[in-house]
Structure 1
Amino acid sequence: MTVDAAFTLDAVRTGPPPDGEHGLPLVVTAPSELEEVSLGSWLAGHRSWLLDTAQRFPAVLFRGFSVARVGDFESSVLAAGGQLHERYGDLPEPLPSCQFARPATPYPADRTILFHNEGAHLAGAPQRIWFHCEQPSERGGATPLVPTSVVLQRLPRPLRAAFEARGLRYVRRFVPGLDVPWRTFFGTNHPDAVAARCRDLGVTPTWEAGAVVQTAGLRPAVIAHPLSGQLAFFNQLLLHHPASLDPDTRAALFDLFGPDGLPRSVTFGDGSSIPDSAVEDVIAVMREAAFAFPWQRGDVLMLDNVAVAHARQPYAGRRQINVALSALASDQPIG
């Protein structure tokens, strides 16, 4: 993907992406000669430009605008237009005074969050994710990006064919202390409401002693992009397969729960196991094709959740990245 030389759009500079190979991300920079440029006001006045740009570039980084606080971030995303998703069980609750903006996934700072597409293990997923850097870390903490179409193209052909034809079966066990409480995830403890929520998410719950202990659901591993039709490696394989864990954590979980009782697991859709070597191939392809940029305070990243998978590098020092999700949309399995 290429982009013309930097041009001016109402004094806001748009330049070539730092990653020349895949065009991730397109950088839109506020003019340095002005003290403050409100991102929300600018987006509200350029919605048609934003829509066209979002269709051509799967990641757009807005830099140098006045987005110091999370409230500025939420108002900016709302100004861009489109519906936002208010509840999402895998993320913390919205921040004070916010309806949609919330902290990014809490996870130990010294660990890597591997590549994934938000909500790909469920029946509905956000089309877009907005990230906001309120506080960059002292070291590390980048959010690497990788184009899902490139990953699919570079996978070994037999492995790609297996993912396309067989899909994935995700199993999640709500182990106290290791996952969010099931009541928090579903937003209710009423059985009928939980059952309805599970139908919406495309998963089947297993109950034991009045508590949801497990959900299981079949999802595609490859889908067609809802706008371009381009095939995308769209899933959460690396967040669910034990081969993605470091050896010590994997050994500890196997000792505690056994191979059939892990908090999260994934197989092919027909129930057959996915070899560790297949996961290692996916990780290698993603790391080779990925690009990471250092966050700056006030950065806002608009990400196409189907076209691009994201991750998180380990970091040191305080880091505050906020996130807002577009309304959930049903995926489009191929075939």
Structure 2
Amino acid sequence: MNTIPEALDSSLISALGDDVQCHERAAGQPPLFIEPKGGALLDRDRFRAWTRRVKPALEQLIVRHGGIVLRGFPTPETEDFADIVEQFPPFQDGYVGGRAPRLQISGRVMESTRLDAGVRLGVHSEMAYRRHYPGRIAFFSRLTAPVGGETTIADARQFVEGIGPELVEKIAAIGIRSALSYGPKSDTVESSYEDQDRYGWNHAFGTEDPAEVEARCASRGLQPLWHDDGSLTVFATLEPFLNHPVTGTKLYRSGLHRDHTAMAVLNPEMRKNQKYPTGMFLANGQRLSNEEVDHINAVCDRFTYSWPWRNGDVMILDNLQVWHGRNPYEGRRDVQVALLD
């Protein structure tokens, strides 16, 4: 029988059957690692049948633990990841106007990002700059970098308490606005970007027609602003806190604390010359104080961690409860993603 740590939900773990074993890195810390026990699920067909049989339990475990990692199963290629992804409902809004420079690989599977290997991507909730967001996000490490490149995660369930009631009340009362900048229309997607603001708007919005960009913005509650050099800034009014649809827990969902720290260091000269620099701001036009920004960043850092990844690892996160990022890396790396509801 499964050996179930006391902190884990025994009924859900038992529903996975006797051919797997589960563990956490630390009690109560996401994600839940699920690995084969014995050789039964090392057969690809049996593994795929197992994922379909236990999917209801997997979905509950994603909520319960903030995410799961399927490790050691026969998932070496994109088609194996795609088979898992196809069992979950897609995020219907897709990646229109998405921030990360990425291309579609196959079906619903995309590149993780073309952000330069030397850039550390801070933890964030996927598409926190949009009103509509994927409920879950899946990752697949097809090729793990030889040095660095770990997908970092942060337990966002701890953020509201860590930020503290006074600052939470201030941010919630004022609300937030986001500004995202895109580069002018470009012929190709570059192999890597040191700054995401250079990503051409035509690739981000999937159209060469500015009028269609404006229509897609309008349907998503976004306000586009075109610049003389052909670049684009898109604005949105957002709620910085929301209640999880299943657990009811109040969660922080914002990049407000990053607007003049992590965002600015990528290309300070470019930011200085932008009329509307990329970032999130209080809805009244003011910024948080440096002390408030430092405090929220310290809270995020306190609950952020990583571990060595392995080829074939598949991770599915609850996008509200657990944020993700990326460490810089050296060598080749192939991590793929899919947006799920």
* Alpha-carbon offset, residue 84 of structure 1: 4.4
Q: Which amino acid aligns with 1:36?
A: D
Q: Is the 8 A contact 1:243 1:276 kept in 2?
A: no
Match of 2:162 in 1: 154
Which of residues 266, 269, 281 in structure 2 aligns to 1:252?
Answer: 269
Q: 1:122 to 1:76 in 2, by over 3 A?
A: same
1:275 equivalenced with 2:281 (yes/no): no
- Provide the secondary structure at the position in 2 that maps to 1:160: helix
Paired positions, count: 318
Cα drift, residue 210 of structure 1: 9.9
Mean CA deviation greater in 146-155 or 6-15: 6-15
Query: Pick from 163, 172, 176: which aligns with 1:164?
Result: 172
Q: Which residue of 2 aligns with 1:125?
A: 133
Mapped partners of 2:15, 2:55: distance in 1: 16
Which amino acid is the alignment partner of residue 25 of structure 1? P
Is the contact between residue 140 and residue 315 of structure 2 (CA under 8 Å) also seen in structure 1? yes
Match of 2:309, SS state, is coil
Measured against aligned partners, the alpha-carbon deviations of 1:267-324 in whole angstroms (never above 9, x if no partner) come to: 1012112223322212111111123121111110010001111111112221111000
Amino acid at match of 1:94: Q
Contact 2:16/2:54 (CA < 8 Å) preserved in 1?
no
User: What pairs up with 1:214-225 in 2 under 5 angstroms?
Assistant: 214-225=233-244
Matched, 1:61 2:61: no
Find 2:99's aligned residue among 66, 87, 90.
Answer: 90
1:3 aligns with 2:8: yes
Alignment root-mean-square deviation, CA: 2.5
Aligned with residue 31 of structure 1, among 26, 33, 37: 37
SS at match of 2:279: strand
CA distance in 1, matches of 2:48, 2:134: 21
Of residues 306, 309, 320 in structure 1, which corresponds to 2:323? 309
* Paired position in structure 2 for 1:331: none
Q: Which residue of 3, 14, 19 corresponds with 2:26?
A: 19
- Using the TM superposition, give the Cα deviation of residue 37 of structure 1 relative to its aligned residue in structure 2, in angstroms: 4.3
CA distance in 2, matches of 1:53, 1:203: 34
1:81 aligned to 73, 84, 88, which one?
88
TM-score, normalisation: structure 1: 0.86
Q: Cα gap change, 1:33/1:55 in structure 2, threshold over 3 Å: closer, same or farther? A: same
- The 8 Å contact of residues 14 and 26 in structure 1, kept in 2 or not, is answered as no
Q: State the match for 1:213 in structure 2.
A: 232
CA contact (8 A) 2:178 2:279 kept: yes
Q: Which runs of 5+ in 2 are unaligned?
A: 1-5, 185-194
The correspondence of residues 131-210 of structure 1 with structure 2, limited to 5 A, is 131-176=139-184, 178-208=197-227
Which is worse superposed, 161-170 or 200-209? Answer: 200-209
Cα displacement (A) at 1:161: 1.8
Equivalent residue of 2:115, what SS? Answer: coil
Q: Distance in 2 between matches of 1:43 and 1:60?
A: 13
Shift of 1:246: 6.7
Residues 116 and 237 in structure 1, CA contact (< 8 A), matched pair in contact too? no
Report the secondary structure of 2:150's partner residue: coil
Offset of 1:236 from its aligned partner? 2.7
Q: Which residue, 119, 123, 143 being the options, matches 1:115? A: 123
Pair 252,228 (structure 1): closer, same or farther in 2 beyond 3 Å:
same
SS at match of 1:45: helix
1:45 Cα deviation from its structure 2 partner: 1.5
Write the distance in 1 (CA, Å) between the matches of 2:268 and 2:199: 22
Contact 1:104 1:322 in 2 (8 A): yes
Change (3 A) 1:245 1:189: closer
- Local SS of the residue matching 2:117: coil
Identity of aligned residues (%): 22
